[in-house]
């Protein structure tokens, strides 16, 4: 269809009686279009949409004579060249409850966002040697060497090509590789050098233009209807030409019909997740591609590679879903996967108030048993993460050469941790005291204090457990591990507001430990009295 003139548009406007922008939008809505769609169509034909609206709707001058016809606008365009971008909008009523986020993308539909067939003709690339020629294909023949001959011909409706000075040759139905051999033999009758031994003339045959193929795309396409594609086009090419698939359409069950019979069913997930095109079909005239509605809507969030909304076929389950998502992240808890499910219609009862329930799946166990967990439309899967705590870790801080975290497997006791892990004490370390803070799995804390000199001499030692924290003090002060006890000093200067000191506390913390933490004392007599 060719673009209509402004006069034709104006005439169509008068017929429809469109007088306002709201009527334009209403007319677009009747035809299943949005304003964004109309803008894209206008862009294809080099029309400024806003200027058109201003000219025919917003302008008072000539208002009655010039009114915009969105139907004329729409009917005048060739849909196979539209730059459609699929609108990935989640349903207005969420399947997943009020806590569901609307930011999750629909998996797979984004491949149609960058449309290589929009706003430009199909490009001729390398021709498949098995391409079957037919009426409309254009061929260039070039002979050089002992003989010279050139011709550029189109296969007519009868399948023939008329070669000037050489007669008529039947070309339709041959593969491209066979055609080259046949033409060499045919022209060899006129140019003996092509068949001589040694050969003195040579021939080159190329396709300069592919015949158009008329196909129809129906169902949940962004631009359903008839489309012209070239003779090399496959189903995937046709989907691009139709602007891609709406999020309401299925990517898993795209049906191809030829001569009113189902030829093949295409699963686009195979292409998206594995790059497999082995099941794609080369299209022929009058083929029909039908895109049905989505089979299911499954939400996947949490510790997986791709958080998205997926589509699963009947019988598919958690195994396939995780494969499509790229798999679990390293910090995923395979033993604790939550599945929110809506009770199926047939299982609901009058007595049951709530129709949603939660299941927890031990996927680690199911994998070991080679089982799968079947999923259903509306399921929402959340993959939880493992705990952040490290089981076999101890930390050492204070007056040591290399403070930090260490493994209890490598340094199971206090002496090895200080000497080998932390590389010994600093020069100003207090050799009279080292504190070890324990935290068990329940979070309960306890405290032990040892003589550092005795520990290093081997007279005292302590086996370490996970999450222990070791503090080695300097001779002039104590570095507090955590604020547990507050000590208040009563000073004469009442303007002093920061007069408290905070130190760790535990059940067996003694007064001596508190005094030592506040002011390390070197007088041994005072220590004994304390």
pTM for the complete prediction?
0.62
Does 3 have pLDDT greater than 50?
Answer: no
DSSP code string of 203-268:
EEEEEEEPPEEEEEEEESBSS-EEEEEETT-BHHHHHHHTT-B-TTB-SS-EEEEETTEEEEEE-H
Does 139 have pLDDT greater than 90?
Answer: yes
Instruction: Please give the residue that has the higher pLDDT: either 447 or 50.
Output: 447
Per-residue pLDDT reduced to its tens digit, 391-448: 889 999 999 999 999 999 999 999 999 999 999 999 888 888 999 999 887 878 888 9
Could you tell me the CA-to-CA distances from 56 to 14, 25, 62, 67, 292 in Å, in that order?
11, 14, 8, 5, 39
| Torsion sign, CA atoms 440, 443, 446, 451 | positive
Cα dihedral: 397, 401, 407, 410 (round 10): -140
- Provide the pLDDT for residue 525: 55
- Answer for the pair 333, 386: CB distance below 8 angstroms, yes or no: yes
| Domain 298-385 matches domain 393-529 at the CATH topology level | yes
Share above pLDDT 70 across residues of the chain, in percent, rounded to a whole number: 73
| DSSP assignment letter at 479 | -
Q: Which residues contact 412 (CB under 8 A, 6 or more apart)?
A: 463, 464
- Answer for the pair 176, 127: CB distance below 8 angstroms, yes or no: yes
Average pLDDT over every residue of 284-290: 94
Backbone φ and ψ of 367, nearest 5°? -65, -45
Q: For the packed helices 35-44 and 21-30, what is the interaxial angle rounded to 10 degrees? A: 90
In terms of Cα–Cα distance, which of 517, 413, 408 is closest to 455? 413
- Answer for the pair 417, 437: CB distance below 8 angstroms, yes or no: no
For domain 393-529, say whether CATH 3.10.560.10 is its number: yes
Give strand pairing partners of 394: 406
CA–CA gap between residue 472 and residue 479 (Å, rounded): 8
The structural domains of the chain, with segments of one domain joined by +, span 6-77, 138-209, 298-385, 393-529
Residue 526 token pair: 């005072």
Cβ atoms < 10 Å from Cβ of 451: 14
What CATH architecture is 138-209? 2-Layer Sandwich (3.30)
Backbone φ and ψ of 58, nearest 5°? -75, -20
- Indicate the average pLDDT of the chain: 79
DSSP code string of 149-162:
EEEEEE--TTSEEE
CA–CA gap between residue 473 and residue 435 (Å, rounded): 9
Average pLDDT over every residue of 22-45: 68
Does 83 have pLDDT greater than 50?
Answer: no
Could you tell me the CA-to-CA distances from 61 to 9, 73, 354, 503 in Å, in that order?
17, 21, 62, 84
Element (H, E) at 426: none
Fold of the 298-385 domain: Outer membrane lipoprotein wza fold like (3.10.560)
CA–CA gap between residue 347 and residue 344 (Å, rounded): 5
Range scoring the smallest mean pLDDT among 19-23, 76-80, 328-332, 356-360: 76-80
- Lay out the sheet containing 308-310: strands in order across: 308-310, 298-302, 380-385, 332-342, 356-361
- Answer for the pair 325, 308: CB distance below 8 angstroms, yes or no: yes
CA–CA gap between residue 466 and residue 406 (Å, rounded): 10
């Amino acid at each position: 269809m060719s673009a209509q003139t402004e006069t034709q548009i104006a005439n169509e406007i008068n017929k429809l009686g469109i007088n306002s922008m709201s009527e334009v939008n209403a007319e677009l809505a009747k035809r299943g279009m949005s304003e964004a769609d109309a803008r894209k169509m206008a862009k294809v034909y080099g029309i400024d949409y806003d200027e058109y609206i201003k000219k025919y709707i917003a302008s008072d001058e000539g208002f009655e004579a010039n009114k915009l016809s969105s139907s004329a606008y729409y009917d005048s365009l060739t849909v196979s060249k539209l730059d459609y971008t699929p609108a990935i909008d989640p349903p207005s009523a969420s399947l997943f409850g009020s806590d569901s986020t609307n930011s999750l993308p629909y998996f797979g539909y984004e491949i149609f966002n960058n449309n290589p067939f929009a706003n430009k003709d199909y490009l001729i690339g390398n021709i498949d040697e098995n391409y079957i020629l037919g009426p409309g294909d254009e061929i260039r023949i070039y002979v050089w060497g002992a003989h010279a001959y050139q011709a550029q011909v189109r296969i007519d409706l009868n399948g023939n090509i008329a070669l000037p000075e050489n007669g008529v040759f039947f070309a339709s139905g041959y593969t491209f590789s066979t055609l080259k051999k046949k033409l060499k033999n045919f022209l060899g009758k006129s140019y003996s050098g092509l068949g001589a031994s040694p050969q003195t003339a040579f021939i080159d045959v190329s396709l300069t233009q592919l015949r158009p193929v008329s196909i129809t795309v129906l169902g949940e396409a962004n631009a359903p209807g008839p489309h012209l594609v070239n003779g090399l086009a496959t189903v995937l090419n046709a989907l691009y030409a139709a602007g891609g698939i709406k999020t309401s359409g299925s990517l898993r069950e795209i049906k191809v019909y030829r001569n009113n019979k189902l030829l093949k069913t295409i699963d686009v997930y195979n292409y998206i997740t594995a790059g497999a095109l082995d099941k794609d079909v080369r299209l022929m005239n009058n083929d029909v591609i039908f895109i049905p509605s989505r089979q299911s809507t499954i939400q996947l969030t949490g510790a997986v590679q791709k958080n998205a909304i997926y589509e699963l076929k009947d019988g598919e389950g958690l195994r396939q879903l995780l494969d499509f998502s790229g798999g679990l992240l390293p910090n995923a808890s395979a033993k604790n996967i939550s599945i929110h499910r809506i009770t199926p219609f047939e299982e609901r009862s009058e007595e049951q108030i709530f129709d949603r329930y939660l299941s927890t799946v031990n996927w680690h166990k199911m994998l070991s048993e080679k089982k799968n967990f079947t999923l259903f439309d509306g399921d929402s899967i959340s993959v939880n993460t493992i705990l952040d705590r490290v089981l076999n870790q101890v930390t050492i801080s204070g007056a040591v050469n290399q403070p930090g975290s260490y493994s209890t497997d490598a340094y199971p006791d206090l002496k090895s941790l200080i000497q080998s892990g932390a590389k010994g004490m600093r020069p100003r370390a207090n050799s009279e005291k080292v504190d070890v803070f324990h935290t068990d799995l329940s979070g309960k804390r306890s405290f032990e204090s040892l003589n550092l000199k005795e520990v290093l001499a081997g007279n005292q030692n302590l086996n370490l457990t996970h999450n222990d924290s070791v503090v080695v003090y300097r001779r002039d002060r104590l570095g507090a591990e955590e604020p547990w006890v507050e000590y208040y000093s009563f000073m004469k200067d009442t303007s002093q507001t920061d007069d408290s000191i905070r130190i760790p506390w535990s059940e067996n913390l003694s007064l001596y430990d508190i005094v030592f933490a506040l002011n390390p004392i070197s007088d041994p007599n005072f220590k004994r009295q304390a």
